[in-house]
Amino acid sequence: QVQMEQSGAEVERPGSSVKVSCKASGGSLTSYSFNWVRQAPGQGLEWLGRIIPVFDTRQYAQKFQDRVTITADKFTDTVYLELSSLTSDDTAVYFCARHNTVTTILGFDVWGRGTQVTVSS
């Protein structure tokens, strides 16, 4: 059973950066893209971007284009989200979700449990 294991909660100062990880346990990064979705308190779901590790390609939502970086380590089956220039508006739970790139019809079928990021001075 593939699981997406995310790193623990983070508290960051405004203006700093945060890096969150997501490890695919029980599987590899091959044949999948990995997406990052966030949810601010009491709000809906917002897609930040994705990476396709086998091709090392990535795409970002325009809103985050200037300050988000998604990377992958194929040796440890781990993907990372780094978000810079943090403000209080970035306080949210950050989820990773996989998407099969071969059978694209399946959608976001496996999600991590989420990582709480709190931005506070």
Partner 1 sequence: EIVLTQSPGTLSLSPGERATLSCRASQSVSDNYVAWFQQTLGRAPRLLIYRASIRATGVPDRFSGSGSGTDFTLTIYSLEPEDFAVYYCQQYGSIPYTFGQGTKLEIK
94, containing H or E segment: strand 92-100
For residue 63, report the phi and psi dihedrals to the nearest 5 degrees. -60, -30
One residue of 1, 62, 87, 121 binding partner 1 per CB under 8 A? 62
107 lines the binding site for partner 1 (CB under 8 A): yes
Tokens of 101: 């790139």
CB of 99 to partner 1, least distance (A): 7
Strand partners, 13: none
Q: Would you mind telling me the total number of residues written for the chain in this entry?
A: 121
One residue of 30, 59, 76, 88 binding partner 1 per CB under 8 A? 59
Strand partners, 11: 118
CB of 93 to partner 1, least distance (A): 9
CB of 100 to partner 1, least distance (A): 10
User: Which residue, 15 or 56, has its beta carbon nearer to partner 1?
Assistant: 56
One residue of 1, 8, 44, 121 binding partner 1 per CB under 8 A? 44
Tokens of 38: 């966030």
